[in-house]
Amino acid sequence: MLCKTRLNTVNSFIALNEYAISLLDDYVGTMEFKPYGFNDLDCKSISDVKKLLKVKRHNETCGNQNDVGVTENGNSLSKTEISLYGKCKEEFNFQIKRVISISRDSRKPTKKIPYKLVKKDILVALDAVISNYVLTCPSKDINEITDIIFAGQCAYENLVLKNKIRTSWRENIEKRITKFKENLTLIANFSSLKSKSEKDTALDFMCSFEYKKSRKGEITRICTLIENRIKIMEKRISIYESRKSFRRDNFCFELNRRRFYRNLNGGENNKYTLPEGECLSFWEKIWKKDENHIVTDVVGKRITGIEQSPVDIKPDFIKSIINYAPNWKTSGCNGVYCFFIKKFESLHNYLCDEILKIINRDYCPGQWFYTGVTFLIPKKACCESPNDLRPNTCMPILYKLVTKCVNTKLTDYIEAFGLVSDNQLGARRHCQGAKEQALINQCINNHYGNNLFATWIDINKAFDSVNHEFLSLVLDYSGLPEWIVKFIKSLISKWKVILNLNVNRIGTVKLERGILQGDSLSPQLFTLVMDPLSRILNHKFPKICIDHNDPSQITYSTNHLLFIDDLKILAEKENTILRMMESIDEYFSVVGLRRNSEKSATNLNYVKETRSLDGYDGYRYLGVLEDKGSNVLKHEVMKKIAENVKKRIESLVSTKLNAVNLFKAINEYCLSLYNYYIGLIDIEPHEFQAIDTEVRRILSNLHVHLKPANKERLYISRSNLGRGLNSIVHKSECMLYQFLTDLERKSAMCLRKAGI
pLDDT digits over 171-217, tens only?
Answer: 999 999 999 998 888 888 877 777 878 888 888 888 888 777 777 77
The mean predicted confidence, pLDDT, of the chain is: 84
pLDDT at 10: 54
More confident residue, 29 or 432: 432
Percent of the chain with pLDDT over 70: 87
Predicted TM-score (pTM) of this structure: 0.81
- Report pLDDT digits (tens) over 623-642: 888 888 778 888 889 999 99
pLDDT band, very low/low/confident/very high, at 35 (cuts 50, 70, 90): very low
Q: Which of 33-37, 119-123, 320-324, 437-441 has the lowest mean pLDDT?
A: 33-37
- A 10 A CB-CB count for 411 gives 19
| pLDDT over 60 (residue 601) | yes
Classify the C-alpha dihedral 713-715-716-719 as positive or negative: positive
In this prediction, residue 433 carries a pLDDT of 82
Query: How far apart (Å, rounded) are the C-alpha atoms in residues 153 and 155?
Result: 5
Judging by DSSP bridges, how do beta strands 601-602 and 611-612 pair with one another?
A: parallel
Residue 752's CB is within 10 A of a number of other CB atoms, namely 21
Alpha carbon distance 543, 558 (integer Å): 5
pLDDT of residue 33: 41
Strand partners, 619: 626
For position 15, what pLDDT does the model report? 62
Judged by DSSP in three states, 27 sits in helix
**What is the per-residue pLDDT across 208-220, written as a single tens digit (0 to 9) for each?**
887 777 777 788 8
Grade residue 13 by pLDDT with cuts at 50, 70 and 90.
low
Q: Above 90 in pLDDT, residue 663?
A: yes
Contact between 587 and 529 (Cβ < 8 Å): no
Contact 407, 530 (CB under 8 A): no
* 47-82 pLDDT tens trace: 554 444 444 444 444 444 334 344 544 555 555 567
Model confidence at 449, pLDDT cuts 50, 70, 90, reads: confident
pLDDT at 55: 42
Average pLDDT rounded to a whole number, residues 560-564: 92
Query: What does the pLDDT read at residue 60?
Result: 41
Q: Quick one: pLDDT at residue 613?
A: 81
| Of the listed ranges 181-185, 430-434, 537-541, 747-751, the one predicted with least confidence | 747-751
Q: Is the pLDDT of residue 255 over 60?
A: yes
Residues 570-586 have a mean pLDDT of 92
pLDDT tens digit sequence for 394-406? 999 999 999 999 9
Q: How confident is the model at residue 31 (pLDDT cuts 50, 70, 90)?
A: very low
pLDDT value for 747: 82
Q: CB atoms < 10 A from the CB of 475, how many?
A: 21
Q: Where are the domains of the chain?
A: 2-59, 169-256, 276-311+360-626, 634-755
- Per-residue pLDDT, averaged over 662-669, amounts to 95
Write the DSSP string, 599-618.
Answer: T-EESSS-BTTBEEP-SS--
Of 194-198, 509-513, 617-621, 735-739, the poorest mean pLDDT is in 194-198
Confidence of residue 5 (pLDDT cuts 50, 70, 90): low
Q: Is the per-residue pLDDT at 585 higher than 70? A: yes
pLDDT score at 388: 83
Coil, helix or strand for 86? helix
Rounded average pLDDT over 251-265: 89
Model confidence at 537: pLDDT above 60: yes
Q: In this predicted structure, what is the pLDDT of residue 192?
A: 77
pLDDT tens column, 469-486: 999 999 999 999 999 999
